[in-house]
Amino acid sequence: MDANLQLGDVTITVRRKPIKNLHLSAHPPTGRVTISAPERMRFDRIRLFAISKLDWIKRQQGTLRAQERETPRDFVERESHYVWGRRYLMSVEETEGGSFVELHPRRIVLGVRSGTTADIRRAILERWYRDQIRAAVPEFIRKWEPILDVAVKEFFVCRMKTKWGSCSPERRNIRLNTELAKKPKECLEYVIVHEMVHLLEPTHGPRFQELMNCHLGSWRSTRGLLNNLPIH
């Protein structure tokens, strides 16, 4: 069961896990902080650990919160949108039939009925982005299952406010952020591998890093690329 630890203006989520050591993480894009702690460790010891890391936490949060963010989108003619890391200009076409999205060499075409609101246009494009992720993921899972010797039972694509991905080791499934369809495909592959490794090692401790180093040597640079790209 999660518990919150408050240190001034810093809120830390403490998660009890069957592990031996404490693990501290600051998560993009907002700088959300978590500590994974052994199940029987006293809370005052966790608090002292967090206090000792408070300067690091604030530096990480400052870096993450200063990250460039996308300007708000109105989903109108000649507006910039990104697909797999490439910039496209939007063309809006009125249609009497169903809505659609088409990708051309330099344009992304959004077909909508006359008078469609920006919220509906956003929903149409987000659904299309989810479809792009759903189409791309199975190939990466098939590639990495034999390499990591782990099986993914299911994957889900959804809008996530604070994470690029997550997993459930017990259910053997992974979740991926719809926003990944805007980033280079190597970022999607990195997040998939990251979550698949978590099916073997639930923390970000030495074993996790060893597995990532062994199987995806470029993971730190790709993580840096992903976390430095504009976020929504």
Whether 46 is covered by a domain: the verdict is yes
Token pair 């479809």 is found at 131
pTM of the shown model: 0.74
Distance CA 185, CA 191 (A): 10
Question: Are 98 and 26 contained in the same domain?
Answer: no
Distance CA 112, CA 132 (A): 19
What pLDDT score was predicted for residue 67? 62
Residue 231: pLDDT band (50, 70, 90) is low
The answer to whether residue 30 scores a pLDDT higher than 90 is no
Whether 163 is covered by a domain: the verdict is yes
* Mean pLDDT of the 31-37 span: 90
Question: Are 57 and 89 contained in the same domain?
Answer: no
Closest CA to 28 of 211, 179, 207, 186: 179
Question: Are 207 and 122 contained in the same domain?
Answer: yes
What pLDDT score was predicted for residue 28? 72
Which three-class secondary structure state does DSSP give residue 22?
Answer: coil
> CATH code at 204?
3.30.2010.10
Question: Are 216 and 122 contained in the same domain?
Answer: yes
Distance CA 152, CA 160 (A): 20
Q: pLDDT of 181-218, one tens digit each?
A: 999 999 999 999 999 999 999 888 899 999 999 999 99
- How many other C-beta atoms are found inside a 10 Å radius of the C-beta of residue 168? 15
> For the packed helices 206-215 and 185-198, what is the interaxial angle rounded to 10 degrees?
140
The answer to whether residue 70 scores a pLDDT higher than 70 is no
- How many other C-beta atoms are found inside a 10 Å radius of the C-beta of residue 152? 21
Structurally, the chain folds into a number of domains equal to: 2
214: containing domain = 80-228
User: Mean pLDDT lowest for which of 63-67, 131-135, 137-141, 225-229?
Assistant: 63-67
Q: DSSP strand E in the chain: where?
A: 3-7, 10-17, 23-27, 32-38, 80-83, 86-94, 100-103, 107-112, 154-158, 165-168, 173-177
* Mean pLDDT of the 94-118 span: 94
